[in-house]
Each structure stands twice: as C-alpha cells, then as structure tokens.
Chains A and B, each alone.
Chain A
Amino acid sequence: MKFTLHIWRQPSNSDSGNFETREIDGITPEMSFLEMLDQVNMQLTGGGEPEVAFEHDCREGICGTCSLVINGVPHGPEWGATTCQTYMRSFEDGSEIWIEPYRAKAFPITKDLIVDRSAFDRIQQAGGFVSANTGSAPDANAIPIAKAVAEQAMDSAACIGCGACVAACSNASASLFVAAKVTHLATLPQGDPERRARVQKMIAQMDAEMFGSCSNHGECEAVCPKNISVSVIAQMNREYLRSVATSDT
C-alpha cells in the first residue's frame, strides 16, 4: 500500500507549525498506524533528517500515551480503539492521510504531534483518590459490593487518560475524563466519605486548567477508546449539585 501523508510539524510551542507532505510506499495492511509512522521515521533519520515527534508506548491500547488526530478524528477511524490499535487495513490504498496533534488550550503543543497533558494529572491530584494510608485497610471482604455496582465502577475506571475526549470536543472540555473518575469513586462505598469534596475539587481544577464546559455534543463518547459512556457526565453533574446543595462538605 502507499499513502500521501500530511504530517503536522512544529518545532516547539513558540514556533508556528505547518503540514509537511510525504509519500510513503511499501506499507502492508497488517501494519499498525504507528508502525507506519516508524517506517517514516526510519527513512527520515537514515537520511539525516529529524524524525517526526509523536508519543507512544505500550502499543496495545492501555497506557493512553498515543494521541494523534487522524483525518480529523482523535485516534482515527476505528471505533473504540487507540491510535496504536489502528491498522492500515482501515485506510484505502493510495489515499491521503492528515495527521495532527490534539488541539486544546489546556494541551499546549510541545513538538510536532506531542502535546502536554499534565493538566490531567493535576486534576487527579486535586481529588481523584480515596484517602487510605498504606496498612490501614480492613479485610477486603469486609464490605460486600454488589456485582452490578462493581461492574459499573469498572466501566468508568477503564479510562486510560489519553485525552481524546478533549480533542474531540468543540469546547475542549475534559468533562468525560473528570466524570469517569468521579463516577468510579462515587459508585463504590470506599469513595463515599470524600465524594462531595472530591467532585468540587476536581471540577475546580478542571476549570483552572482552562478546559471548556461540556458541549453536550457527545463526541467525547464517540471517540473514547474505552467506550466510556457520556452518562458519567450526568452522574458528575448530579454529584456536583448534591455537593454544593448540602453543607457538610
């Protein structure tokens, strides 16, 4: 297979960027999208040119490091998959492919296709935890949790923190990301003691990081590689209202 690639190149956040066009040949349908980019980079470095900077690590869809916008869609055309789980068989031979970084005010571009997602960590640091010092825990079976409740918590805990939800949102909102953690911990009895303070702190940090408000478009759910339901945002809003309406936070 061969493709015409339009790849975003930008030396740093303070420089301006542009699309650079490259032809690539000898691609097979079994290659992953990142393996195709590996081929591009081997050609570049072998010829003494600087490679295209992009982030990747586990290459099996769980670490959340890879982050491209492919033909306008975060993580590309495959439903419920990360960029690293996207294979070239999803693209028509001979087609053009546009490759860009996530674009959001809260995710400044570092270089080429790499953005800074540290805002996500700061939101988690604000309240995305249960305060339980090591060694203080009761026996794990002391609190039974209904299977359905545990499964529901797991559904939202599956978030990999990739940021596709932000990139897809017209408001660059981090609502799906924040709501996934709020819902995970609010669903479980272990998260209950801090649930009111947690949702307020996480939302305050989300706003401080300059993420936008929820657009209600639902594009976040459509691109989420872990299929996290937009209903967690409704849950987060309920948690928030309940939290501000009651005084014992």
Chain B
Amino acid sequence: MILDSKTPDGPLAEKWDRYRADSKLIGPGNKRKFKVIVVGTGLAGSSAAATLSELGFQVDVFTFHDSPRRAHSVAAQGGINAAKNYQGDGDSTWRLFYDTIKGGDFRSREANVYRLAQVSTQIIDQCVAQGVPFAREYGGLLQNRSFGGALVSRTFYARGQTGQQLLLGAYSALNRQVGLGKVNLHTHAEMLDVIMHGGTACGIVTRDLRKGAMTSHFADAVVLCTGGYSNVFFLSTNAAGCNATAIWRAHKQGAAFANPCFTQIHPTCIPPAGDFQSKLTLMSESLRNDGRVWVPKQPGDKRAPGDIPEEDRDYYLERKYPAFGNLAPRDISSRSAKEVCDEGRGVGPGGLGVYLDFSDSIDRLGESTIRERYGNLFHMYERITAENPYQVPMRIYPAPHYTMGGLWVDYELMTTIPGLFALGEANFSDHGANRLGASALMQGLADGYFVLPATICNYLNSKPAINAEAAKESGRATEAQVKARLQKILAIKGSTPVERLHRDLGNIVWEACGMSRSGKDLPQAINDIRDLKQRFWETAAVTGHAGDLNMTLEKAGRVADLIELGELMCRDALTREESCGAHFRVEHQTADGEAVRNDQDFCHVAAWEHTGDDTEPNRLVEELEFESVNLAVRSYK
C-alpha cells in the first residue's frame, strides 16, 4: 500500500484555488445519478450531507441516535476559530495556519492546514446566515475571545454552547433537505461494516438499534463522519455512545489508521468523584481566559484555598510559560497539572486536581461580567460538585477528550480505500500531534461544508463501474459476517459486565498511553490488552438477542472494537520514539521536563495497515514536507 497525499503543486497559498480550478466538475443533470452515503450527523456529517444534497447528489445519511441533533458535536462549549481578523489584532490566514501547525507540533500536513485556515472565514459567514446566534458587541458586530495557543482573539462563540448552536445550524440545513425529500435520513441505524467490491467501498451494513434488523445500503461513495475514539479510555469527555466501530471496521477492510497514539488530554475537566463514575465533564478551555491555575507550593497543604496566602501559591503555568501563561496549549497545560499532582501538590479527593481561580477576575471585572461570560459553565460545575465557583476556586483535572489520530486521508479526504472518505474527528489530517482549542468545530465544518463537496467529484468522475448484482452479492456476504459476529458475542454468556471490561481497558490505556508513555510500560500494556481481549471473548455478560432492542449487545460490539484499537494505540506510541504534542515519551525530554521532538526520524505520519487478526499490522509512513514553515522547537515561554 502506498500513501499518496495527492497534495497539489504550487505555492502553499495557491494550492486550494488551483485544485478547485483544475478539478473536473459534474454537471447538474449528472449529479443526481450519484448516490452518497454519509455516516454520522455531527458537524462534519450534517454539513456534508446537507451540502451534497444542495448540490444535487442523492444522499442517504445515517445516525445511531434517535435524532441527528444528538451527535456529540453538540457538547463542544468554547468556540470556533476563524481568521476573520475582526478584532484587528494581527490575525490572518497565515497566522491561523501557523498557530495550528505549530500547535500540532509539526506533525500535520501543511497543505491541509492551510486550506483549513482559508475556509475558516466562510464557515462563520455560513453559520451566521443560518441563524447561529454568535455573541455580539453592543454595536451589533461579532465578538471574539482568546483561546489556548494563540496570541490573537479569533474565537467565535455562542455562550458556552457553541457546538450545540453550530450543530443545530447544520442540523437545520440537513432538515431542510430531508423536508424537501432530497435526503433519506436513517435514525437508530448503526453502521457495522463497509461493503467492499473490487477493492472499492460500495456501501455499508447497518443494524436498526430499535428492531435489530440488518440492512445493506449501496452507494457510489461512503463518507464516514463518525467522530473520535477517546472512549478507549472509558472515562473521557465523550458521550457514552461515542465509539470507533465505523472507523475500526473500515480499518479492518483496508483503510490505513494514522497516528492512533495522538490523543488529547483536555486540561480543564471536573475531577472524578468515585469509582462509579461514567464520564468526565469538560469545563471549556475558554475559562482559562479569566481563571488562574494554581496549586499550593507545599505538598500536602490541606488548608482551604481561601486560607492559602498568595506567597504559598504556585501559579505554575504563569511561572513556567510567562508569554502564554494560563493560555498555554492543552498538552502542556495537562502535563503540567499531572506533574504538580505527582509531586503531591494536587487538591481535592485523591489529590487529583488543581485550582482554577476566578477571584482576581471577579475583583477586576465584577461578578456580573464573569456570569455573563461563563454563567452556564459555572452553573454546570456547581450542579456536579455542589461547590459555588464564584466563591471557591474550581477544581480541575485533565481528561481524555479528542483524538487527533484517525483514518488516513489524502488531500481529497479519501482514505486508502477508494470511494471511502473520512471527515472531521474521524480522520487524522489537520491537527498533527495536538489540537488547539476551538479548532475541532472549524475542521468538522470545513470538511463538511467546503472541502468534501469540492473534492468528491474527482472520485465520482473517475470511479470504476460496479455491477449492481455483484455488489449486492458482496453486501450479502458482509451482512452474514456481521450477523455471525453478533451471534458470537451473544454466545459468550459469561458473567463479567461489559462495562467492567471497558473500565479495565480504560485503566490500562490511561496508565500506559495517557499523558505520558514509556518504552517500559507500553509492551506490558499491549500484553494486558491482549489478555483483556481474551477475557472479553470468554467472560462478557451479554444478555438478550440480536433481533431486538439490545443495549448490552450494542455496547459489547463497540467495546470489542475499542479493545483492538487500544492495542494499536499502544503499538503506535511504542514505535514513535520522540515526544511531540500530546505524545510524551518519558525517554525523550529535556532536563526540565520539556518534550524533545525527533525530526530526523519521526517527521512523518505513521499509518497502520491491518493485515489480519492474528498478524502484526504494517507501519506505513507518509513523510511530512515543510516547504513554508521552519520546524521550530515549540516554545510558549
């Protein structure tokens, strides 16, 4: 397998325009002859489905939720970046591009990131036209806030519910197409495999989660917009339903999986309260605009935060990174929090927490201003912890949040399987080894509204003709395999709850492949995950049957896939002998604990090719060429 990024020639700033100028269009009369399947209805999926339909393609869209509006993009809080430079503070397409590629620690593809920065401004225009109620200044113009990893104010937001409002915008665009009868919407439909024929993707197999029925669906192209895989860690900021089954099934059918070890730990989440905990709740990173992060200087200082005088507090981000201070990027902030907790200076139950203190901002700006900016976040915090953050500092701790890794895609967002595309968090393309805040929403919508609709024509124009009967035959075979797997899970009849197995997986991966990784721990973790896989297939408790609504069966199928993906994450982390972005190998650090990148040997994308259930995967390499930026040592000091 060869990884050809298909990056267009020419200067960086002209590549996207040249690509569009050179690509072959499909006439309006011919577009309706092509059918596209879109899986997932988050920002990427809803925007792609709506736009493809507006252009005239036949679109079938699938979600495992009861409504497209439930996709987990809905939970993004802080905002969406765009290089509008409405604040006149020196922003530009170049600066957003550079911040993103530097934030990703120079492990992403220049051309993709530049394109992202270019289309960012159109996204804001589009969303405003849909009626997304972004925050405004008194004069009626759009307001911006700052986010980690940037020195300009370029983040657009709708209170602490930006993801919800952007998703409802994309959902409304999708609804319009459904209402017009141009998009077929399939709810409660979980994709369980890709149908392949002649080496290309020609459809998917889905299971109706309400009735258990299995169906094959065929199309000219399949677009996966199924999100990330942070639920490998069990405890993460993801929704309970988030899973990797669609991308993992695609991987097993031949799609290379890129940089699986690049997973982001978000610095500002509410710390766990006990062993029963089912998820971790994120507090938007935007809080770091006005909150100061600190811990006591002395380990074991049990005084109430208000009783600890200034001279006994360590504002460690401001101390270590004076230029960016509390707005240091996520990976650096998370690792710093772990360091101070490892030193015994953590606060709250189990010493797993640091303070995020708003008292200075409340003194400076007044409580009403803080309430206006973050009211709903403060309210959410108080609801969960029963503590009032206007009076006592919040306690926060890092939690698995976003996965930069995902299916490998070329410049056209096509995976290594012809006809199979991956958008949004499901692909690997734009964030390198670390994603900056407010960039996930930007990428999801860029891919869905603007990139895929322009790139898919190239494939559709040149795609091989597929015999419909032969494709159906492939569909029947795939469907039979999917059914057999479900029956195999139901036949285990063990007594270990699937949730228990999932928690065990999370513990293994969190310890060995979380905030820091080592050549010593990772091989052990791989062995432990293999044991766990065996334990799953021998002891999992899965009741009921496949022809009915069966939540345990759904969960079991997803956990089985997450177990395999967890192993690949550890394998990737073990092979990448460097520290970059969110991937911190303890062997590769400076004397004062900063990451040491190895551009000599690892300035590349590692994409894994599945070779069989019992054989080792192949590690493929896409060299990253930087024509426009220097590979700088990332410094936020």
Interface residues of A (CB under 8 A from B): 28, 30-32, 34-35, 38-39, 41-42, 44-46, 48-51, 53, 55-65, 78, 80-81, 85, 87, 89, 110-111, 114, 116-118, 120-121, 124-141, 143-147, 150-151, 153-154, 157-158, 160-161, 184-185, 188, 190-191
Contact = CB atoms under 8 A, between A and B. Distances in A.
Interface stretch (B31-39, B108-116, B168-176, B518-526): B168-176
Given A51-B552, A60-B75, A185-B131, 5 more contacts: A59-B239, A111-B549, A146-B138, A153-B131, A154-B159
Given A42-B500, A57-B241, A140 B164 contact: no
B140 A147 contact: yes
Nearest to A110: B210
B133 A63 contact: no
Contacts of A39: 276
B124 interface: yes
A65 B225 CA distance: 20
A34 B277 CA distance: 10
A180 to B, nearest CB: 11
A210 B165 CA distance: 28
Contacts of B632: none
Nearest to B72: A58
Interface residues of B, number: 84
B67 A129 contact: no
Nearest to B124: A140
A140 B122 CA distance: 9
Most buried by A among B65, B133, B141, B379: B133
B549 A53 contact: yes
B164 A62 contact: yes
Interface string B600-620: 000000000000000000000
Contacts of A117: 66-67
A85 B379 CA distance: 11
A46 B449 contact: no
A134 B75 contact: no
B175 A144 contact: no
Contact of B138 (A60, A65, A147): A147
B469 interface: no
11 contacts: A58-B240, A59-B279, A60-B279, A65-B66, A110-B210, A129-B130, A137-B125, A138-B129, A151-B133, A160-B74, A184-B133
A112 B335 CA distance: 44
Most buried by A among B74, B541, B551: B551
B462 to A, nearest CB: 24
Given A89-B386, A147-B140, A190 B178 contact: no
Given A46-B497, A134-B54, A140-B125, A55 B175 contact: no
Contacts of A89: 386
B274 interface: yes
A248 B497 CA distance: 61
A145 B124 CA distance: 15
Nearest to A129: B172
Top 9 closest pairs, chain A to chain B, by CB? A144-B140, A137-B129, A129-B172, A125-B179, A137-B125, A132-B129, A154-B133, A140-B128, A153-B133
A113 to B, nearest CB: 11
Contacts of B47: 134
A147 B137 contact: yes
Most buried by A among B67, B384, B544, B552: B67
B551 A144 contact: no
A154 B129 CA distance: 15
Nearest to A64: B70
A140 B239 contact: no
Contacts of A133: 54
A125 B69 CA distance: 12
Contacts of A190: 128-131
A150 B133 CA distance: 6
B125 A57 contact: no
Contact of A31 (B67, B165, B276): B276
B131 A188 contact: yes
A144 B549 contact: no
A135 B161 contact: no
B142 interface: yes
A136 B449 CA distance: 11
B369 interface: no
B179 A126 contact: yes
B67 A150 contact: no
B141 A124 contact: no
B480 interface: no
Contact of B130 (A41, A42, A111, A130): A130
A161 B167 CA distance: 13
B449 A35 contact: no
B278 A121 contact: no
Contacts of A150: 133-136
A45 B542 contact: yes
Contact of A125 (B178, B239, B380): B178
A116 B67 CA distance: 10
A217 B162 CA distance: 32
A134 B51 contact: yes
Contacts of B449: 134-135
Contacts of A111: 210, 549
B168 to A, nearest CB: 7
B50 interface: yes
Interface string B418-433: 0000000000000000
B84 interface: yes
A55 to B, nearest CB: 7
Interface in B41-91: 47, 50-51, 54, 65-72, 74-75, 84, 86
B172 to A, nearest CB: 4
B623 interface: no
A140 B128 CA distance: 6
B126 A135 contact: yes
Interface in B138-170: 138-142, 158-159, 161, 164-165, 168
A116 B122 CA distance: 36
A49 B139 CA distance: 61
A114 B240 CA distance: 16
A154 B51 CA distance: 25
Most buried by B among A45, A61, A116: A45
B278 A59 contact: yes
Contacts of B239: 57-59, 63
Contacts of A191: 131
B7 interface: no
Given A34-B278, A50-B543, A45 B142 contact: no
A141 B86 contact: yes
A167 to B, nearest CB: 15
B74 A45 contact: no
A147 B143 CA distance: 10
Contacts of A78: 383
Contact of A63 (B70, B134, B165, B273): B70
B281 interface: yes
Given A30-B273, A48-B541, A57-B240, A184 B131 contact: yes
Contact of B75 (A58, A139, A147): A58
Contact of B128 (A64, A110, A118, A137): A137
A124 B66 contact: no
A137 B126 contact: yes
Contacts of B69: 63-64, 121, 161
Contacts of B636: none
Given A64-B69, A190-B131, A134 B276 contact: no
